[in-house]
Amino acid sequence: MENEENFAELFEKSYKEPSRMEPGHKVEAPIVKITPEWALIEVGGKGEGYIAIEELKDADGNLIAKEGDVVRAWFLRSEEGEMRFTTRIGTGPAARAQLEDAFKNHIPVEGKVVREVKGGFEVSISGGTRAFCPFSQMGIRRDENKDVYMNVDMVFYVLEIDRRNVVLTRKEIVEKERQVKVAALKETLQEGHKVRGVVTSIQKFGAFVDIGGVEGLLPVSEMAWGRTEKVSDLLSAGQPVEVIIKNLDWENRRISLSLKDTLPNPWDTAAQTWPAGSYQKGKVSRLAPFGAFVTLGEGVDGLIHVSRLGGGEKRINHPEDVLTVGQEIEVLVENVDTQNKRIALVPAELSREEAENAATMQKYQRPEKHTEAEPMMGSLGEQLKQQLEKKNGNPK
């Protein structure tokens, strides 16, 4: 037993790790010192290794590691007796081995989107290895502007690797980033809040807006107080906007936004802008069996009832018999109901005709005034009799 113990001690003392590291050798080592250019790591009995300090900074140039932190790194080469390591996969002659290790151990790799190709993007991994990331694995919508990703450094996971091809994915990374942002926004966002955002894509039904890492939908009905026929007439991708949060549904990942709620509501001043009894000019916006809608201003339509379109004894079956969409028309404002957002209108021509008829009727229906000195005359026969008496000199 004693001999076996002595043999084990001698073997351990005599055994030495290979003094020469091969490119691609992976280590997990603590940072022992940080300088403006390098981070020094303790590599067991082999001494110290060097990692470029730029690898330990974020996109804004802030240092994301400190002395004592353990980092995973890969040996690159020796220069003037110093061992160079990298924390970034895919560099140097050991790129393939590093990528295979990244695939097996789910290690993120850095790459730059080079160009759009059929079905996805070509990505240049740090060190020059070419890889492919399908659209479905980028974590973006297919309708997004692909140009914004060109020549941008991103982090990926290796999804597949063989002797010829390397396939990457960002879905998991994008989802994790989204979850972090959602957690932060949950603490601050509330319905009714006004927030700044950037339009990310345009759709027929509205626009998607990024409000700080999370996207919300701005429906076409919430873009303006007036009717919006084409979203692209109002907004474009990349445009900054201020919106109101209408609804927050974190569970179903739905955020509804409004742009028109940031604008003055024209109905608040409708009674002053289009007062009852005033004549106004508008444009026919829509025809329905019960009447014609006329746009008076941004977001404010009035209604001419079908019964007021014929005039006189004339009756029409449908407003389209006398009006067309887009036609300019002068109207009289009969009534303004701001609470229910309704304005009753009458064609100006019909209104003036009715006013003239009413004035004429009033004139002929009004009784004549007589003074006490001039009593009211009787019948036609009595008037003739009085005139004859005056002529013969026998006034009564």
* Structure-block tokens of residue 312: 């006189």
Report domain 94-174's class. Answer: mainly beta
Contacts of 80 (CB under 8 A, 6+ apart): none
Q: Are 11 and 3 in contact (CB under 8 A)?
A: no
Q: What is the pLDDT of residue 350?
A: 82
Q: Say which CATH topology domain 266-362 has.
A: OB fold (Dihydrolipoamide Acetyltransferase, E2P) (2.40.50)
Q: What is the pLDDT of residue 383?
A: 59
The H-assigned helical ranges of 84-151 are: 95-105
Q: Where are the domains of the chain?
A: 20-87, 94-174, 193-262, 266-362
The closest of 75, 65, 6 to 32, measured between CA atoms, is 65
Calculate mean pLDDT across residues 82-104. 75
Give pTM, 2 decimals: 0.53
Q: Is the pLDDT of residue 252 over 70?
A: yes
The closest of 194, 189, 223, 192 to 207, measured between CA atoms, is 223
Q: Is the pLDDT of residue 368 over 60?
A: no
The whole-chain average pLDDT of the chain stands at 81
Counted residue by residue, the chain has a size of: 396
Calculate mean pLDDT across residues 290-297. 92
Q: Are 117 and 167 in contact (CB under 8 A)?
A: no
Q: What is the largest CA-CA distance in the chain?
A: 177
Q: Is the pLDDT of residue 3 over 50?
A: no
Q: Is the pLDDT of residue 6 over 70?
A: no
The closest of 49, 53, 105 to 73, measured between CA atoms, is 49
Q: What is the pLDDT of residue 1?
A: 45
The CA distance from 272 to 324, in Å, is: 28
Q: Are 199 and 267 in contact (CB under 8 A)?
A: no
Which residue has 């400190």 as its token pair? 66
Q: What is the CATH number of domain 20-87?
A: 2.40.50.140
Q: Say which CATH topology domain 193-262 has.
A: OB fold (Dihydrolipoamide Acetyltransferase, E2P) (2.40.50)
Contacts of 200 (CB under 8 A, 6+ apart): 144, 207, 208, 209, 210, 215, 237
Window from 25-39, 249-263, 366-380 with minimum mean pLDDT? 366-380
Q: What is the pLDDT of residue 330?
A: 92
H/E segment holding residue 280: strand 279-288
Q: What is the pLDDT of residue 91?
A: 55
Q: What is the pLDDT of residue 7?
A: 42
Which residue has 């730029």 as its token pair? 54
Q: Is the pLDDT of residue 265 over 50?
A: yes
Strands 109-117 and 120-125: antiparallel
* Residues 305-346 pLDDT 10s: 988 887 656 778 889 888 999 999 999 999 999 889 999 999
Q: Is the pLDDT of residue 198 over 80?
A: yes
pLDDT band, residue 379 (cuts 50/70/90): low
Domains 20-87 and 94-174 share a fold: yes
